[in-house]
């Protein structure tokens, strides 16, 4: 035993002199990518980044003989010395790219919360960017003009989700799975979260550091964190998961809890509007005199739209209204604007359809247009060819939200998926990691309810959940000095907060714009 320890110690002293067993990353400036991304996200500024790439096996079952693929990596430097190492960041989605996300959140999301002493590294996960981009377009849809067959769920004919599912939803989902199989045969079984966890090992081995993972996983990045931790518990040095999915329902491939918290977040929006009545358009422009009156007004608007769904245009309008609410609940900074849009609808200033509010899309960076389906369905262990077997899942979903269940269709193709990830993780997540995981989760997160964090924490030994009483998806949209301080203690010293404590946000939604202006922070959320 003792001799081993000595041997290992001796090895680590001379390790610099040994031949490299791992490729070392070739970081270099990449002005063109910086410019492309700056143009894409304008008017928001980006943090300059360097680029590198790493060749990894397509198939980790055959690491030596498999074809190699290129991972594109991006790095934002630490801002403070001494530099303590690198933190990997996953851009969420799934299907998000690092190039589009890292430069946007590096300063006001990551450095702010982790502290400036770490280099921030992210990479375009398999299926996204230019890394075997997952695109299920057969190239025929434009020619045949058949949106239903091509998976455009927005043409569903009724607001009754169960009826939609029976009439067309199930068939659309199966067709989507077929199309993806036909267009990604050969690479489609290598883009799941298990394969990406193997890539993370390749990345940390090529950093020239200690071979341990320091990681910030946001949203879907929490699923990636859970998979990595369960597959490689000995490699976890720091893992902060922000906006947590329930790892067990994620693994099944459906998430009945998905809209559990939308109602709660929507109620918070109404509360905050009433609290900020002199600046909330739903009060000032509608002359509402009580919170109940705001509720009634909003209900009337939404239910009128829900009833008017027998035509395609009516259904579009209904989904657009739900979508407007759902998306803006992610970002409390936008709540005053959300109130304004609804006030304008209710006073007849704009039509009750925000569908025409989107700007023309610039040249895309991400070629993985279907990566969101590809990645989550690659992980799915629940498969069935029988429509009836899916009914209980639908029932659970609809039971979780008053009105937002209409969005649920996004996960339907997973039950028919034909390309499970070759590295698919099927275990129960009950592991003890080298260092415990810290989960942080908003109490009002509209898409990753805090129940997911508690559920995960009961599997990962020693992990702790830090609750955040701010609004929005993840902690970035609602800065909190209390949260940042605890996260920095964790990354720098490894210490975890006490279980059961909660942090307050620094600002309410109506104060955020002022804070950003005062601190010269320009960002989308």
Ligand X SMILES: *[C@@H]1O[C@H](CO)[C@@H](O)[C@H](O)[C@H]1NC(C)=O
CB 257 within 8 A of CB 449: yes
Contacts (CB under 6 A) with ligand X, residues 211-270: 246, 248-249
Contact residue for ligand X among 104, 213, 245, 317 (CB under 6 A): 317
Helix (H, G, I), strand (E, B) or coil at 383: coil
Q: Counting contacts by CB under 6 A, is residue 79 touching ligand X? A: no
Distances (CA, A) of 216 to 102, 113, 132, 239: 11, 10, 24, 6
Stretch that binds ligand X, among 84-92, 178-186, 234-242, 479-487 (CB under 6 A): 178-186
CB 10, min distance to ligand X, A: 30
Reading the block at residue 11, the tokens are 């090895």
Q: Give the residue with the Cβ less far from ligand X, 170 or 490.
A: 170
Q: Counting contacts by CB under 6 A, is residue 188 touching ligand X? A: no
Q: Counting contacts by CB under 6 A, is residue 162 touching ligand X? A: yes
Q: Counting contacts by CB under 6 A, is residue 137 touching ligand X? A: yes
CB 123, min distance to ligand X, A: 16
Q: Counting contacts by CB under 6 A, is residue 396 touching ligand X? A: yes
CB 14, min distance to ligand X, A: 25
Candidates 465, 467, 464; CA nearest to 444 is 467
Q: Give the residue with the Cβ less far from ligand X, 366 or 478.
A: 366
Contact residue for ligand X among 37, 40, 41, 49 (CB under 6 A): 49
Contact residue for ligand X among 267, 369, 502, 513 (CB under 6 A): 369
CB 412, min distance to ligand X, A: 16
Measured CA to CA, the distance from residue 202 to residue 216 in angstroms comes to: 17
CB 50, min distance to ligand X, A: 5
Q: Counting contacts by CB under 6 A, is residue 323 touching ligand X? A: no
Contacts (CB under 6 A) with ligand X, residues 496-515: none
Stretch that binds ligand X, among 4-12, 135-143, 469-477, 489-497 (CB under 6 A): 135-143
Q: Give the residue with the Cβ less far from ligand X, 396 or 424.
A: 396
Q: Give the residue with the Cβ less far from ligand X, 11 or 312.
A: 312
Q: Provide the 8-state DSSP code for 131.
A: S
The residues, any chain, with a CB within 8 Å of residue 289's CB and separated by 6 or more, are none
Q: Counting contacts by CB under 6 A, is residue 181 touching ligand X? A: yes
Torsion of CA 32, 34, 35, 40, to 10 degrees: 130
Q: Counting contacts by CB under 6 A, is residue 292 touching ligand X? A: no
Q: Counting contacts by CB under 6 A, is residue 353 touching ligand X? A: yes
Q: Give the residue with the Cβ less far from ligand X, 21 or 65.
A: 65
For the chain, helix (H) and strand (E) counts, in that order, are 20, 10
CB 337, min distance to ligand X, A: 11
Candidates 319, 330, 525; CA nearest to 447 is 330
Helix (H, G, I), strand (E, B) or coil at 319: helix
Q: Counting contacts by CB under 6 A, is residue 339 touching ligand X? A: no
Q: Provide the 8-state DSSP code for 109.
A: I
Candidates 390, 380, 265; CA nearest to 331 is 265
Measured CA to CA, the distance from residue 92 to residue 236 in angstroms comes to: 20
CB 259, min distance to ligand X, A: 13
The residues, any chain, with a CB within 8 Å of residue 273's CB and separated by 6 or more, are 280, 282, 283, 294, 335, 339
Candidates 256, 403, 394, 257; CA nearest to 325 is 403
Q: Give the residue with the Cβ less far from ligand X, 251 or 486.
A: 251
Contact residue for ligand X among 65, 287, 358, 363 (CB under 6 A): 287
Contact residue for ligand X among 79, 297, 308, 327 (CB under 6 A): 308
Write each residue from 407 to 436 as x if it is in contact with ligand X (CB under 6 A), else as -, in one continuous string.
------------------------------
Please give the backbone phi and psi of residue 465, each rounded to the nearest 5 degrees, phi first.
-105, 125
CB 364, min distance to ligand X, A: 5
Stretch that binds ligand X, among 12-20, 99-107, 395-403, 509-517 (CB under 6 A): 395-403
CB 439 within 8 A of CB 241: yes
Measured CA to CA, the distance from residue 226 to residue 87 in angstroms comes to: 16
CB 463 within 8 A of CB 457: yes
Strands 502-503 and 464-471: parallel
Torsion of CA 489, 461, 94, 475, to 10 degrees: -30
Enumerate binding residues for ligand X (CB under 6 A): 45, 48-50, 77, 135, 137, 139, 160, 162-163, 181-182, 185, 246, 248-249, 286-287, 304, 308, 313-314, 317, 347, 350-351, 353-354, 356-357, 364, 367, 369, 395-396, 399, 455, 458, 520, 522
């Amino acid at each position: 035993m003792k001799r081993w320890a000595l041997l290992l110690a001796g090895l680590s002293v001379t390790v610099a002199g040994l031949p490299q067993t791992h490729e070392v990353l070739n970081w270099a400036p990449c002005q063109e990518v910086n410019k492309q991304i700056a143009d894409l996200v304008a008017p928001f500024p980006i943090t300059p980044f360097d680029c590198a790439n790493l060749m990894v096996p397509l198939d980790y079952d055959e690491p030596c003989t498999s074809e190699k693929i290129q991972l594109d990596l991006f790095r934002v430097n630490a801002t403070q010395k001494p530099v303590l190492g690198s933190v990997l960041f996953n851009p969420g989605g799934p299907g998000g790219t690092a190039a589009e996300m890292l430069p946007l959140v590096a300063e006001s999301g990551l450095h702010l919360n982790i502290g400036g002493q770490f280099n921030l590294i992210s990479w375009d996960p398999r299926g996204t960017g230019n890394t075997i981009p997952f695109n299920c377009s057969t190239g025929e849809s434009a020619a045949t003009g058949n949106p239903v067959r091509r998976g455009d769920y927005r043409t569903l004919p009724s607001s009754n989700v169960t009826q939609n599912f029976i009439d067309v939803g199930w068939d659309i989902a199966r067709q989507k799975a077929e199309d993806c199989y036909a267009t990604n045969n050969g690479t489609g079984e290598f883009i799941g979260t298990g394969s990406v966890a193997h890539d993370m090992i390749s990345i940390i081995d090529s950093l020239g550091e200690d071979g341990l993972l320091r990681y910030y996983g946001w949203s879907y990045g929490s699923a990636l964190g859970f998979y990595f931790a369960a597959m490689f518990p000995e490699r976890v040095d720091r893992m902060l998961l922000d906006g947590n999915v329930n790892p067990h329902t994620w693994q099944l491939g459906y998430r009945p809890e998905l809209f559990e918290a939308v109602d709660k977040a929507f109620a918070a929006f109404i509360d905050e509007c009433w609290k900020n009545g002199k600046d909330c358009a739903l009060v000032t422009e509608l002359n509402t005199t009580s919170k109940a009156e705001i509720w009634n007004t909003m209900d009337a608007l939404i239910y009128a739209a829900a009833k008017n769904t027998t035509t395609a245009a009516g259904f579009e309008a209904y989904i657009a209204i739900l979508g407007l609410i759902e998306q803006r609940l992610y970002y409390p900074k936008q709540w005053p604007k959300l109130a304004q849009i609804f006030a304008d609808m209710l006073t007849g200033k704009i039509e009750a359809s925000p569908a025409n509010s989107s700007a023309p899309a610039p040249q895309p960076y991400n070629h993985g247009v279907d990566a969101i389906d590809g990645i989550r369905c690659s992980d799915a262990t629940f498969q069935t060819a029988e429509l009836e077997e899916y009914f209980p899942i639908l029932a659970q979903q609809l039971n979780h939200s008053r009105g937002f269940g209409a969005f649920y269709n996004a996960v339907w193709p997973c039950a028919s998926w034909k390309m499970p990830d070759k590295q698919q993780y099927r275990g129960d997540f009950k592991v003890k990691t080298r260092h415990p995981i810290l989960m942080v989760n908003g109490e009002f997160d509209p898409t990753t309810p805090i129940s997911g964090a508690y559920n995960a924490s009961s599997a990962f030994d020693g992990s702790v959940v830090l609750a955040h009483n701010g609004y929005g998806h993840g902690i970035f949209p609602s800065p909190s000095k209390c949260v940042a301080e605890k996260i920095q203690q964790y990354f720098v010293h490894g210490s975890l907060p006490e279980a059961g404590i909660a942090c307050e946000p620094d600002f309410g939604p109506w104060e955020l714009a002022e804070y950003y202006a005062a601190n010269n922070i320009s960002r989308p959320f």
